[in-house]
Chain A
């Protein structure tokens, strides 16, 4: 108990600081074969033929597979749960190797060899004959008249999806809004503005490469060990790509060295599995180099946002329009989900009094594929939305904080499109907290009227972020707990630890819910689709919310079973238990209970009278010695059992909010009763009333629990009892049908050396409204990391694709500039901790949000410093200098 909210040390830290934590490549067997992918050297066209004769002669080459060999099974790669509704299924536009080349670097063949030198030599010797088409690298090129459709098998043109969304009256258009604004407020009282904002394509740059290795096991299972965020989804795609039944595929996910969404996609696992099958099931490793990772896995979408807005002169937003163009690259991957997400936040974040119109376009081009990346379209959305917002604030002469407070989304906001609700609202408090922390008002005043070529400025940006994917997609997660004979337990999750601290947070949750001591809980970090419970994986800032709820329910079940067995032991102290080595302890405990509760001979000790705390079986002191409370509880539990698992677990909860800590629709009904019942036993005790002679003061804890005996006694007896052997386990599936908004803001203070185009960050603080924090130390770490990513996004990161050839120019970590320690200032992470009624512990999304508001905050700080509108990130020195020259500042 009491683990929630503590700065617990990470459960995986020891393994990671000693180098003993095993990642995918650390588990390879010694005599593994090495595979290398051969990539196309054209961006758009057909492989006409391939000459592998010379390559095959290289000593050590075992097998060469080309695009002419692979099965014609088109498969999807998105890390989405499979949809049973055909219109919502992910697009199947990929083969294991491509004859139809879709980008410069497409996978066209693979070499398997005894060592990597032989594989690389052979790969260089393969001769390819192409039929080459014009590369279509940009969105305008892909949409131009007569542009070649890149995927005629699934789309007649290059538009993957176009979606149209509105807020306000049905069928609202921005033109309507503009007309109405003019009529209602008068042309002289409104301000009309148009602005275009551009975000770059970037690379995730997890430090561990997306390495995998595969073999066919003795039972015929095609087994892939891989660095993925989504083992269960990988399993499905491998099965589809290889034409195998799901049960024949096994995916194992060990520790992973970062993913950030790139590994929320099926990458080379299907090819790796296929390659192993081509060499009789021998283990084959497929290590994707850094250069290949940057070019041939996934990227963040470059999105162009064309905005229009009308507001009153006193800063009331009336109507806005966004047309967002997302360059999705060669394959659909996550399809339209990301650009649609971008558009959704644009419309949700502010209250246009007349209405909002959004059009989102996701477009195929012959360039590297864009997929999921931390923030999933919202970093782009925040940049577009928050540049526009600052530009509007400037036009009406309002302070940017005040302008936002006046116009931003409000408490209990409900997205009319999907019903997602802002249940716990900390947005305004976040703005206030950040504003005060950074000294906003003083600095805005100080930085007015600057001269000279070095100037300072301060800027900010806000955001909102949903928690998980319901109702857009399925939210489901399972958890399993298994008790050991010593009273410790294993936790098995389908949810994945990817560095964010999930395993630690889950352990804290399990400790809190079960009452088993934190250090007696062991979480299995490896997910193995053959043995782990099902979960869709690490993405959408969902796991603590969705999988955490599964574990909360599971932990409650496990505890009930432990307490049930403890009650059995107490009630059979003179019979079954009398013969056992623990007889004396149990009999003593029973006597104590009888005295404290006034039980008579023959009265039963019910499980509801007991509690598990820090691995000690305790008695809940009744308020009245009669034990009415416990009686109430029995009744409600009985009812709940009939209603189903969701209700049952929450009924016995002492933690959840009255509004329901459960996320299912059925739960609400049982909540009120459950909440009450749960608290009756423990609360309201006057410890002075307790008969100390009976229990001893050292045996009563602060919650009024009377310690009885270690749960190890229960566990051991349960396993080995000759009368009633019981293996105590629990497994629960949680389907989450709720969602809630997180929010927050970033404030940044910069110094701009205009003559050199340098932006130095003097201060940067994020404030997050993410509900209750399970572990503040881990939360801060998440925020720092996201902020650092947003610094790179704002200032230096941009994947450059040559428009003529489609070739990526900067496919390495020297030329693709993620921040080093010297480029990252000290950062502050603050929180507004409100209890969210839908989260299992009042928590909501935190994983991705830190990567969201930094870039626009920095852009707005540069605006404040120099008056120059940088409408395109990254704000490289070259772009800044060009702008400063244009503005006559240097």
Chain B
């Protein structure tokens, strides 16, 4: 029943045996121990399981692992620098007090990685749309949008500097 597949997860090539019935959420959590990938609905409505596949944010609960063969996957576990420093996006979430229960946060940070990666400035309403695939019941999104805004600005500043 098991099938051997290879993919690149958080910058590292992995080869592992999976059940073809698994969602990418199942595989990342159970086989790779990447428990930042949270399960909130299993049907793509809450966004807690968001990861990047080839740089694009997707709901890993409705993405079959077999489709990830040979692809590059990024989860929050892959954001820290090799020496353990937080990414500017993670730091922005801490600094702006955007974290409450924290369950939706890894997924939102992954969408933020895609947003910040675009290297352009967004208006707050545009950010709202870009984050609208994530449900958060704690924060009212206010400080989350503050954090993403701040991370975008930091990125633009570093682009100008670099």
> Would you give the shortest CB distance from B100 to chain A, in whole angstroms?
4
- Asked if B65 is at the interface (CB within 8 A of a chain A CB), the reply is no
CB-based nearest A residue for B19: A115
Residue in A204, A208, A255 with the greatest tally of chain B CB atoms within 10 Å? A208
Q: Judge whether B99 and A258 touch: CB under 8 Å.
A: no
> Would you give the shortest CB distance from A813 to chain B, in whole angstroms?
4
> Would you give the shortest CB distance from A508 to chain B, in whole angstroms?
14
Q: Judge whether A290 and B42 touch: CB under 8 Å.
A: yes
- Asked if B73 is at the interface (CB within 8 A of a chain A CB), the reply is no
The size of the chain A interface, using a CB distance under 8 A, is 57
Residue in A12, A30, A820 with the greatest tally of chain B CB atoms within 10 Å? A820
> Would you give the shortest CB distance from A69 to chain B, in whole angstroms?
29
- Asked if B138 is at the interface (CB within 8 A of a chain A CB), the reply is yes
Q: Judge whether A207 and B36 touch: CB under 8 Å.
A: no
Interface string of A236-279 (1 = CB under 8 A from B): 00000000000000000001111010000000000000000000
CB-based nearest A residue for B136: A207
Q: Judge whether B105 and A16 touch: CB under 8 Å.
A: yes
Q: Judge whether B39 and A821 touch: CB under 8 Å.
A: no
- Asked if A389 is at the interface (CB within 8 A of a chain B CB), the reply is no
Knowing A290-B42, A818-B137, say if A17 contacts B143 (CB, 8 Å).
Answer: no
CB-based nearest A residue for B43: A812
- Asked if A131 is at the interface (CB within 8 A of a chain B CB), the reply is no
Chain A residues with CB below 8 A from B140, complex form: 784-789, 824, 827
- Asked if A117 is at the interface (CB within 8 A of a chain B CB), the reply is yes
Q: Judge whether A499 and B35 touch: CB under 8 Å.
A: no
> Would you give the shortest CB distance from B138 to chain A, in whole angstroms?
5
- Asked if A814 is at the interface (CB within 8 A of a chain B CB), the reply is yes
Residue in A13, A14, A30, A289 with the greatest tally of chain B CB atoms within 10 Å? A13
Chain B residues with CB below 8 A from A781, complex form: 97-98, 100, 138-139, 142-143
- Asked if A21 is at the interface (CB within 8 A of a chain B CB), the reply is yes
Q: Which of A107-141 contact B (CB under 8 A)?
A: 117
CB-based nearest B residue for A784: B140
Knowing A813-B41, A821-B131, A822-B129, say if A16 contacts B137 (CB, 8 Å).
Answer: no
- Asked if A606 is at the interface (CB within 8 A of a chain B CB), the reply is no
CB-based nearest A residue for B129: A822
Q: Which of A10-66 contact B (CB under 8 A)?
A: 10, 12-23, 25-26, 30
- Asked if A803 is at the interface (CB within 8 A of a chain B CB), the reply is no
Residue in A18, A786, A787 with the greatest tally of chain B CB atoms within 10 Å? A18
Q: What's the Cα separation between A818 and B97 when bound, in Å?
A: 22
Chain A residues with CB below 8 A from B144, complex form: 821
Q: Work out how many contacts link A and B, with CB atoms closer than 8 A.
A: 183
CB-based nearest B residue for A32: B30
Q: What's the Cα separation between A20 and B95 when bound, in Å?
A: 18
Q: Which of A815-835 contact B (CB under 8 A)?
A: 818, 820-822, 824, 826-827
Q: Judge whether A14 and B94 touch: CB under 8 Å.
A: yes
Interface string of B28-58 (1 = CB under 8 A from A): 0110001111111111011010000000000
Q: What's the Cα separation between A707 and B103 when bound, in Å?
A: 43
Q: What's the Cα separation between A778 and B101 when bound, in Å?
A: 12
The 6 closest A-B pairs by CB, nearest first: A19-B36, A499-B101, A257-B103, A16-B102, A788-B140, A784-B140
Beyond the given pairs A13-B94, A207-B103, 14 more chain A to chain B contacts, judged by CB atoms under 8 angstroms and listed by A's residue number, are: A9-B94, A17-B105, A17-B106, A19-B34, A20-B36, A208-B101, A257-B103, A260-B137, A787-B140, A813-B40, A820-B134, A821-B144, A822-B125, A822-B128
CB within 8 Å of B: which residues of A? 7, 9-10, 12-23, 25-26, 30, 117, 204-209, 255-258, 260, 287, 289-290, 498-501, 777-778, 780-781, 784-789, 812-814, 818, 820-822, 824, 826-827
CB within 8 Å of A: which residues of B? 21, 29-30, 34-43, 45-46, 48, 75-77, 79-80, 86, 90-91, 93-95, 97-106, 109, 124-125, 127-129, 131-132, 134-145
**Could you give 28 example pairs across A and B, Cβ below 8 Å?**
A10-B94, A12-B102, A14-B86, A17-B86, A17-B105, A19-B34, A25-B29, A25-B35, A207-B101, A207-B137, A257-B104, A258-B138, A287-B39, A290-B42, A290-B46, A499-B100, A499-B138, A778-B97, A780-B97, A780-B142, A781-B98, A781-B138, A781-B139, A786-B140, A813-B41, A821-B131, A822-B132, A827-B142
